Amino acid sequence: MRIRMGISAGVFLAIVVFIICLISGHKKEGDKEGTKETVQMPSVVATQLVMAAEPTPTPEPTPVPPKALYSHPDTFYEGYEVYTDKNTREIWNQEVISNFGILVDLKDGHVVAQRNAFERMYPASMTKVMTILVAAEHMDDPEDTFTMTQDITDYVFSNGCSQAGYAVGETMTVRELLYSTIMPSGGDAAMALAYYTAGSMEAFVDMMNEKLVELGLSDVAHFTNPVGIFNEQNYCTPAAMAMIMKAALENELCREALKEKKYTTAPTEFHPDGIEISNWFLRRIEDKDTHGEVLGAKTGFVNESRNCAVSYERSNDGNQYICVTGDSHSAWRAIYDHVAIYDDFVQ
């Protein structure tokens, strides 16, 4: 019995040892496989975990440019013709004193509203819109300079023209002349542009009328001077003036001059603080409700034409219009006529 128990114990012990060895060997194989998994993990699983743990860098936001003062005229329709149809309205509002008027949609040239829009009128200083257009198109460098002459100031004085106020012998840039021609309606600046561009007023006027031919407006408009001094042959229609304004707005230099409300020229020995000039039409209409924003304008006055004006508006819904009026009885009334027309026909 003891022998049998002893043998059994020995066998049992041997079996236990054998099992332990098997388990140990299996564990070592498992360890090896585990080591292989650990080596592979960083290249696949661990890398994915690291990538998941690190947030994806947020790209720098694209800077948003400041809101443009008004839409670029690339959105204007092509050409310089307008058309009427059954949807064209008469300017019926009795508060509109002007005897001439037109409102043109720059999307397609449609005449939204009109009053004698295709009849001849005298444009007075609205002429200067064509003056800056011709000068700008023949200008190599807007920072080039011109020196005011006695002949120019004598001409302006003898014809009773409004002036920017440049002194004889004063030198200014032609860019300043563009601003000074539009904003205070400076006859001295307009004449200076003519002499700078063409060498004489006569040669410059020829260029103005050549531009009318280019625009297809020579049958309905003609100019005799760059200032707007009355002459029976210095005329246009409201529709033609609207298209001259459109052409000017399509020129960057002219567009800048037409949109400025207030500007100060560079200091000179004659004006140490510069000359401060304003576009009073823009400053006076800016707080009026026109269903949009007026972003360019030029006024005019001579006795024969009375008060007239041309303006450009971007409406609240993004449409763009040009309005022209003529033969109103005051500068303020001309502004209110534009307000009334925009209010009636622009949504």
What number of other Cβ atoms are within 10 A of residue 304's Cβ? Answer: 13
Measured CA to CA, the distance from residue 227 to residue 176 in angstroms comes to 16
Cα–Cα distance list, 155 to 36, 81, 181, 189, 252 (Å): 100, 35, 15, 12, 30
In a domain, 37, yes or no: no
55, part of any domain = no
Alpha carbon distance 173, 196 (integer Å): 11
Sign of CA dihedral 18, 19, 24, 30: positive
Domain-located, residue 166 = yes
97, β-bridge pairs: none
Percent helix / strand / coil, the chain, rounded to 5? 45, 20, 40
Distance CA 217, CA 240 (A): 6
Number of domains in the chain: 1
In a domain, 181, yes or no: yes
Considering the domain boundaries, does residue 206 fall inside one? yes
Q: Which two tokens stand for residue 266?
A: 């560079």
Q: What is the pLDDT along the chain (347 residues), one digit of tens a residue?
A: 333 444 455 555 556 555 555 555 544 444 444 433 333 334 444 444 444 445 555 545 444 444 444 556 778 999 999 999 999 999 999 999 999 999 999 999 999 999 999 999 999 999 999 999 999 999 999 999 999 999 999 999 999 999 999 999 999 999 999 999 999 999 999 999 999 999 999 999 999 999 999 999 999 999 999 999 999 999 999 999 999 999 999 999 999 999 999 999 999 999 999 999 999 999 999 999 999 999 999 999 999 999 999 999 999 999 999 999 999 999 999 999 999 999 999 98
Phi, psi of 323 (to 5 degrees): -120, 135
- For 182-261, strand residue ranges (E) read none
Q: Could you tell me the CATH number of the domain that includes residue 130? A: 3.40.710.10
In a domain, 59, yes or no: no
Is residue 14 domain-resident?
no
Q: Taking every pair of C-alpha atoms in the chain, what is the biggest distance, in angstroms?
A: 153
Q: CA triplet 67, 73, 79: central angle to 5 degrees?
A: 170
Q: Tell the residue number behind the tokens 């003056």, with chain if given.
A: 131
> pTM for this one?
0.80
In this structure, the number of other CB atoms found within 10 A of the CB of residue 263 comes to 19
Q: Locate tokens 């839409």: which residue?
A: 71
The boundaries of the domain holding residue 102 are 73-345
Residue at 120 is within a domain: yes
